[in-house]
């Protein structure tokens, strides 16, 4: 199962390199695309949960790293929720 990394830019211009256990993230995010916070959160949640389930199907257990990544991303999204119109930019997907 190919690990896929994706880099995002947050509303404060900081960048984070994020982990997905599978390429499924490419079905939900597009490099160069900006997403409103809630849309980004939803897309990432779906992608990482599906990636974790792919790991479960193959190895018999969920991917804890993907679920940890989701928790961290949701924490970051929460930091910017008070900013109206805040967006996350997906810079690249490897």
Three state DSSP letters for the chain: CCCEEEEEECCCCCEEEEEECCHHHHHCCCCCCEEEHHHHHHHHHHHHHHHHHHHHHHHCCCCHHHHHHHHHHHHHHHHHCCCCCCEEEEEEEC
Is the pLDDT at 50 greater than 80? The verdict is: yes
pTM given for the model? 0.93
Average of per-residue pLDDT across 39-54: 97
* Confidence bin at 14 (pLDDT 50/70/90): very high
Q: Give me the domain span that covers residue 54.
A: 4-93
Query: Considering the chain, what percentage of its residues have pLDDT values greater than 70?
Result: 99
Average pLDDT over the chain, rounded to whole? Answer: 96
What is the structure's pLDDT at 27? Answer: 97
What is the count of structural domains for the chain? 1
What is the structure's pLDDT at 1? Answer: 67
């Amino acid at each position: 199962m190919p690990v896929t990394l994706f880099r995002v830019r947050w509303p404060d211009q900081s960048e984070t390199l994020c982990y997905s256990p599978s390429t499924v993230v490419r079905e939900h995010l597009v490099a160069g695309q900006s997403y409103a916070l809630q849309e980004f959160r939803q897309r990432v949640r779906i992608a990482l949960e599906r990636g974790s389930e792919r790991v479960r199907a193959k190895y018999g257990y969920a991917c804890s790293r993907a679920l940890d990544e989701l928790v961290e991303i949701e924490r970051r999204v929460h930091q910017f929720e008070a900013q109206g119109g805040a967006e996350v930019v997906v810079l690249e997907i490897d």
